Amino acid sequence: MVYLDNSATTPICNKALETLVKYSSENYYNPSAIYLQGVSVNSDIESAKQTITNALGVKYNNNLIFTSGATEANNLAILGAYRKSFKKMLFSVGEHPSVYNVALELKKRGVDVDFVKLQQNGEIDYIDLENKLNKEVSFISIMLVNNETGAINDIHRVFELKNKYCPDAILHSDGVQAFGKIKINLDFLGVDLFTVSAHKIFGPKGIGALFVKNKNLLNPIIFGGGQEYGIRSGTENVGAIMAFKSAVDDFGNIKDNYNHVSKCVDAFLGELKTINCLINSHHSPYVLSLSFCGINGETLVHMMEKRDILISRGSACSSKKSGNRILENMGLTNEQTLGSIRISFSKNTTIEDAIFAGKTLYECYNELKDRLK
């Protein structure tokens, strides 16, 4: 089987799996316990935080809060930062559902929420952002890499615009599809809050983290024993946390991985040269969105599945909903949206896999076109 839906999830790597088992069956102690074994496990968690913050380009590990995943981390970033004094909150219309739907919920509750448009290439519209920034804006959330298209937003530019018009506003970025795939330096990006997840980088599901530059920015949204600096209560998922660390340790060279994946994309697209398809965005090589006119994308997904190649229509979190909010806001027609698919590569994708998948997609497309004649 050729797996090309890595934006949805990745298989846990051997190193992370071994760590998960070790901390679930041997070093299973509660990190809040005061005896030696608990203290030791708590120290291990601190080392995991250091590893992850180092990968984020910052050195201070006491600014990382572990959560049950990116959805909780995004909810914590937004709802934990929200104050009644906030006058306006800005979000990209292209955000992941775990951000976008929180914004809609806040709007439903009477909060002044506005959305920044997308350009045709999938990036946010920086002119629209600038037009909507003013001293009333208290919170901004713009993702770094889009999970549907791979479009990369210039968060440092967003940071500079924020400082120009609303320097006191809190800046959050969902970095799930960027972490481990492109070089990140949070000090340069200028974010106050940044979300990462383990299962997108060959770690386990059920563990994510939120970087918080200043912990005073957040109020808890889960209450209990006061773990994670009193911001995210609940006994720490030690096995998953340590497996997350192992997955980060197993990154390899990000630049080399990026170049390899870029070659995979080129090899894949090389097999589709004679097909009339639209490349919706091609920024991060890890995510490739294509549209086929006159073809149903879901049909293509199932045809590829029967040939042991797994791709997707788009975000797994939106797979049961009709339409595609991201593509529609990029200006794609209904036909182009209906005919869209997402192919997402990983550092473990081989050139041979990419060529085979491209050839197979070419065959499936032509077979489907013949049926529709």
Q: Please list the active-site residues.
A: 317
Q: DSSP readout, 310-321?
A: E-BSS-GGGTTS
Handedness of CA 55, 93, 345, 261 (dihedral sign): negative
DSSP 205: S
CA distance 142 to 182: 17
Lookup: tokens for 168? 């006191």
DSSP E strands: which ranges in 30-160? 64-67, 88-92, 113-116, 137-141
Q: Which of 155, 153, 175, 164 is CA-nearest to residue 70?
A: 175
Q: Contact at 8 Å (CB) between 51 and 248?
A: yes
Lookup: tokens for 144? 């770094």
CA distance 93 to 330: 10
Lookup: tokens for 199? 């299962």
CA distance 237 to 206: 9
DSSP 238: H
CA distance 137 to 164: 12
Q: Which of 354, 338, 334, 324 is CA-nearest to residue 292?
A: 338
Q: How many CB atoms lie within 10 A of CB 98?
A: 21
Tell me the three state secondary structure of residue 289.
strand
Lookup: tokens for 95? 């955000």
